[in-house]
């Protein structure tokens, strides 16, 4: 018995979730209308480039705030590997976008630019999926000087 090798079995696991975006839902609906919704604090005016129902700075309620559809690359990376779900999409470029009038950033993908040409400060424009999937990937960015619709 002591000579028995460790027995390894294979076991599959899968589950469907009913996932509500709850108070953040208007953001995802907004993507379908080609709008980027951030949040602005009703008390201190701090402006987030993401949905936050309450202000991280002062705790007051925020209101929805429409962000500009152009911004700049604050930082970037090109991923040559990834989590299993995204391996087939590699290489892909992630950016944090900064917007005029917003105090924080927005994480998205940058498309239509070779990885070696990405740089901090690059002007970018939001693009939206024609058929919404109601995921944050319904929006992505491309260089501002990229011809529209290509």
Partner 1 sequence: MKPVYMISGGITKFAKAHPDKDFRLMVKEAYDYALRDLPRFSKDMISGAVGSYFSDHFTRQLKAASMVQDFLGLCPKPSKRVEGGGATGGLCFQSAWEAVASGRMECCVAFGFETMSRVNTWKGNEFIALASDTNFDFPVGGFYSGYYAMMVQRHMYEFGTTVEQMAMVSVKNHANALYNPYAQKAKRLTVKEVRESPMVATPLTMEDICTMSDGAAVCILASEDLAGKVCDRPVRISGVGSGSDAMRMADRPHGNVILLPHERESDYRNLKYPGVHSFRGGRMAAKLAYEMAHLQNPNDELSFVELHDAYTSSEIQTYEDLGLCKYGQGGRFVESGRPFMPGVDYGLELPEQGGLPVNPSGGLLACGHPVGATGLMQAVFAFWQLQRTMEKHLGNGTLQVKNPKRGLIHSHAGTGTYITVSILEAA
CB-CB contact of 46 with 38 (8 Å): no
Query: Which residue's structure tokens are 């990885």?
Result: 115
- Does position 42 interact with partner 1 (CB under 8 A)? The reply is no
Binding region for partner 1 (CB under 8 A) out of 6-14, 29-37, 64-72, 123-131: 6-14
Q: To the nearest whole angstrom, how small is the minimum distance from the Cβ of residue 120 to partner 1?
A: 5
Q: To the nearest whole angstrom, how small is the minimum distance from the Cβ of residue 144 to partner 1?
A: 20
> Which of 72, 85, 94, 91 minimizes the C-alpha distance to 143?
72
What is the per-residue DSSP string for 103-132? SSEEEEEE-SS-GGG--TT-EEEEEE-SS-
Secondary structure letter of residue 50 according to DSSP: S
Tell me the number of residues near partner 1 by CB under 8 A: 43
Q: Which of 48, 67, 126, 127 binds partner 1 (CB under 8 A)?
A: 48
CB-CB contact of 124 with 97 (8 Å): yes
The footprint of partner 1 on residues 113-142 (CB under 8 A) is 115, 120, 135-137
Per-residue contact flags (x/-) with partner 1 for residues 73 to 92, judged by CB under 8 A: -xxxxxxxxxxxxxx-x--x
Q: To the nearest whole angstrom, how small is the minimum distance from the Cβ of residue 3 to partner 1?
A: 12
Q: Collapse the DSSP code of 64 into the 3-class scheme (helix H, G, I; strand E, B; otherwise coil) and give the result.
A: strand
Note the residues at the interface with partner 1 (CB under 8 A): 6, 8, 11, 13, 21, 24, 48-50, 52, 56-57, 74-87, 89, 92, 94-96, 103-109, 115, 120, 135-137
């Amino acid at each position: 018995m002591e000579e028995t090798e460790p027995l390894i079995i294979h076991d599959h696991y899968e589950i469907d979730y009913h996932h509500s975006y709850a108070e953040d839902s208007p953001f995802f609906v907004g993507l379908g209308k080609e709008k980027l919704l951030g949040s602005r604090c009703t008390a201190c005016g701090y402006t987030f480039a993401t949905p936050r129902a309450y202000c991280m700075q002062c705790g007051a309620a925020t209101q929805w705030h429409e962000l500009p559809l152009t911004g700049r690359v604050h930082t970037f990376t090109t991923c040559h590997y990834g989590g299993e779900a995204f391996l087939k999409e590699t290489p892909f470029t992630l950016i944090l976008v900064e917007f005029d009038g917003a105090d924080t950033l927005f994480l998205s993908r940058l498309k239509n630019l070779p990885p070696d040409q990405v740089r901090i400060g690059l002007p970018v424009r939001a693009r939206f999926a024609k058929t919404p999937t109601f995921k944050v990937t319904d929006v992505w960015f491309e260089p501002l000087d990229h011809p529209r619709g290509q």
